[in-house]
Chains A and B, each alone.
Chain A
Amino acid sequence: MSISLEQVSKHYGGSVAISDVSVEIADGELFVLLGPSGSGKSTLLRAIAGLTPIDRGRIVLHGRDVTHVSAREREVGFVFQNYALFRHMTVAENIEFALRARGVGAAARRARVNELLELVSLQGLGKRLPSELSGGQQQRVAVARALAHEPRVLLLDEPFGALDAKIRDELRRAIRDIQRTVGITTILVTHDQEEAFTMADRIGVMDRGRLQETDEPRVLYTRPRTRFAATFLGAANLLLGRIEGGGVRVGNTVFDTNPSERGGPPRHGEVTVLIRPEDIVLGRSELSAASAGELGYGTVRQIEFVGVLERVRLHVEPNEWLTSALAPGARFTIEATRNSRDAETTKLEVGQRVRIGAKHVHVLPTPISSLRLVGASEPDVERLASSSLVRELATRMHIAPVRHLSSSGIPPEALGGLAVVPFDRAGGFDGIARLLDEGARQVLGIADGHRRIERLVIYIQPTRAAREAALAAAGTLLRHLAVEGTLLVPAADRTVRGTSYRDLLDIRHAALRAHGVDVRTETFRGDVADAIGKRIHPSAPTLLLLGVSSPSSCYGLIEELGPRLAPRPPAATLIVRGNADADRDANTISYLRSASVLG
């Protein structure tokens, strides 16, 4: 591996700039860090160059740990957005700066400068001053300068930001060519998804200091794993679907899901579905593409002509089967793009009611598809809605929470997404257990809604089913909350020495592979309740995530934990039930009551 980052973190004062970023970049690869401004991508790049010190983690370049090595000794080339050329030096003097710093002789310097000028197609301009060159040429000089000392890593920080569209396009191709010619491992930072698509071998999507998702451009676009990647890489229609008989039902059609999809979609219940605008098919009475499945009807609100394409926005009234994943139950907009031929054959007008279909849907493997607030009374539900955790999840995941009253029985749709209940001290885990019992797969109990959650403590029962579901949930939480995650793994005494470490590595590897999010792992000996209790400090509001394999298997855990945590309960508790065990256990509540651990 050329570049290897391990759990790199950086804080500025109280705010997180980079949070546990781990990634490996292969030799000669062009890796693009893509993210909105303030996502920490530039900070990460500067950290790799050694220009910004990191708080935690390890940076390895070509097998050499450079975490504590100064920038001048890291042998990287860095290209800045504003070029950062030395304006009082000629182009040639700029390019040979690194060679001068290394005491290279004049003849060798001149030869290398000429070679580099040719590489960036600026032959004969060596005697010019930077100010006599155009922006694009200046950036070429900056690239040549960064390559002069033959670094093994090239880092480009938004190198095209200050250029106009045509030059940018040309320079992108030029840099891509240069990178291939030299064969240098390269990281490019950008906020422009088109740039990322055209240049990258692989893209890492960053948001809020976390590397959200990493993959090849095509895979990221067609089969993203996270809501953020889905919406950041191009226009996206996010809808709620329901797993039904091996497929996913959206609107009036059960679509096939691709069984080989990465991360594995949840096997049952409510899921988030992505439909790209170009996969939407519109028709006045019949859908134009025979292979498309019907979703429902909508009203044309807006038609935009954008060159080769036509962009149509439709308003859709939601129903039980067709509703937005952004604001379930509210009227929503579907965006469609059509090529000029479709636009010609099926002319549409604003205000027209049309049939909407989809050629293809993609199920996001993310476990949290909606936020369902369940309370006995309206004030209860409102208290949940105003809790800091719900507000944070809602804004960061772009989900409008749905309010449900449990007084007249729990509505079945409330069990689909992430069910949120008050964690009242008298009832303890009662509310959570009741929903699990009804069939909910993940229930969040909120004890203290006032303070922001700062830490996430995860304990997972040692079964595969529990592990998968809980890690998926943990991954989603870590991606969207600015919290530190700690995964507790028992260091089993009975097993052979080393087994627990293999377990630990296994679980971290699983977390990394399936969810792209790294967590810190800590082993403990002895009692689970003790270990968890020790990690819940009143000073840092904690979210406790318990992964269980079935409702029945959580009895024991709750029985153990209940009394220990009662004096100082975590600010919130999330219990995630494994996917494999779908059987419901009607006795949960009665069992918990009789176990007298819930007060």
Chain B
Amino acid sequence: MSARAAAYRSRWVEPSILPGFNLTLGISVAFLTAIVLIPIAALVLKAGSMPLDELWRIATEPRALASYRLSFGASLIAATLNAVFGFIIAWSLVRYRFPGRRFVDAIIDLPFALPTAVSGIALATVFSPQGWIGRWLEPLGIQVAYSWVGVVVALTLIGLPFVVRSVQPALAEVDATLEDAAESLGAGRFMTFRRVILPTVAPALATGFTLALARAIGEYGSVIFIAGNLPMRTEITPLLIVIKLEQYDYLGAAALGLVMLSISFVLLLTINALNGWRAARALGRRR
């Protein structure tokens, strides 16, 4: 047995017919380091250069706490809304052939392409008490623009494509005979959906949800135009960071940045772990 063959048996290197494991791993590590890790490390270092009690004080200011609540709360609501409606949109795009289907399909990606400031201004205009939609909501006592609802609306808009585009291919892959099988076994529509279709596309849906959530947490441009930015009420954390930067409070900005980073990281890690566990079950790679 040659040394190389032995090396392939180590627990790091999976045998593959394609060579170049060392090369590709090296490139991956270098790239991630330069683009992702070093900037993050800089942030952590900067925040770490202040005393811990100072860091804690800045991070737990009432204004900061309110902004976390809004940022993460609105992001979760928006991602959930997107998961529900994005699934329905993906379903109708995959399952039905209707006039204008390609048109709708193309519209889905627009929030990706539009500068976020533009979508923010557009939303603010439409949902303001005089706007096209806002004027009908106002008599009902619903204020969208300049309230937390507006934040949710903006975050929903920019997150939608993630869900639709993740779920679409997974839905297209669902074997129609699975539904036939469920029906011939006596399952009603709801049972077929709940126990056959949904579990099959759940990993893709979770991926879409995670992406939409991550995007919403980091979103800045569109929210500041519709939120009204009232401290303690409609101020998101990224805005607070920018405000601190404008006041040359680099340490304060770094501290808030570090908090966002930590919460996001834990959130995403949890979702990915849950999803990985579900996917493993669904694909039957339990062992």
Q: Which B residues form the contact surface with A (CB < 8 A)?
A: 175, 177-178, 180-188, 191, 195-196, 199-200, 281-287
Contacts and interface: CB of A to CB of B under 8 A. Distances in A.
Given A87-B200, A101-B186, 11 more contacts: A51-B183, A70-B183, A71-B184, A77-B184, A80-B181, A101-B185, A101-B187, A101-B191, A131-B284, A132-B286, A146-B184
A143 to B, nearest CB: 12
A98 B185 contact: yes
Nearest to B182: A97
Contacts of A148: 185
B184 A49 contact: yes
A131 B283 contact: yes
Interface string A51-80: 100000000000000000011111011101
Contacts of B282: 87-88
Contacts of A146: 184-185
A76 B184 CA distance: 7
A225 interface: no
Contact of A72 (B177, B178, B186): B186
Contact of B180 (A77, A78, A131): A78
A89 B188 CA distance: 18
Contacts of A101: 185-188, 191
Contacts of A73: 186
B180 A51 contact: yes
B281 A88 contact: yes
A131 B282 CA distance: 10
A566 interface: no
Given A72-B187, A98-B185, A132 B180 contact: no
Interface string A363-391: 00000000000000000000000000000
A86 B180 contact: no
A97 B200 contact: no
Contacts of B183: 51, 70-72
A534 interface: no
Interface in A10-25: none
B284 A98 contact: no
5 contacts: A72-B183, A86-B181, A87-B284, A89-B195, A101-B187
A84 interface: yes
B180 A102 contact: no
A224 interface: no
B285 to A, nearest CB: 8
Given A84-B175, A86-B196, A88-B200, A132 B284 contact: yes
Given A82-B175, A101-B185, A71 B180 contact: yes
Contacts of A102: 186
A145 interface: yes
A27 B241 CA distance: 78
Given A101-B191, A129-B284, A132-B284, A86 B178 contact: yes
- Give 6 closest A-B pairs by Cβ, nearest first: A131-B284, A129-B284, A98-B185, A101-B186, A84-B181, A88-B282
A100 B186 CA distance: 9
Nearest to A82: B177
A130 interface: yes
Pick from B178, B186, B282, B283 the residue with the most CB of A within 10 Å: B186
B179 to A, nearest CB: 9
A72 B187 CA distance: 7
Contacts of B186: 72-73, 98, 101-102, 149
Given A82-B175, A87-B282, A88-B281, A72 B188 contact: yes
A100 to B, nearest CB: 8
Interface in A227-244: none
A80 B177 contact: yes
A175 B282 CA distance: 28
A116 to B, nearest CB: 13
Pick from B187, B284, B285 the residue with the most CB of A within 10 Å: B284
Pick from A77, A80, A149 the residue with the most CB of B within 10 Å: A80
A109 B186 CA distance: 15
Given A86-B196, A87-B200, A129-B286, A149 B180 contact: no
Contact of A84 (B178, B187, B286, B287): B178
Interface string A352-369: 000000000000000000
B167 to A, nearest CB: 16
Contacts of A78: 180-181, 184
A70 B184 CA distance: 9
B191 to A, nearest CB: 6
A145 B284 contact: no
Contacts of A132: 284, 286-287
Nearest to B200: A88
B283 A97 contact: no
Contacts of B188: 72, 101
Pick from B181, B191, B282, B283 the residue with the most CB of A within 10 Å: B181
Nearest to B180: A51
B180 A97 contact: no
A438 B188 CA distance: 67
A51 B192 CA distance: 14
A51 B177 CA distance: 10
A88 B177 contact: no
A101 B188 CA distance: 8
Contacts of B191: 100-101
B99 to A, nearest CB: 19
Contacts of A72: 183-188
A97 B185 contact: yes
Pick from B183, B184, B284 the residue with the most CB of A within 10 Å: B184
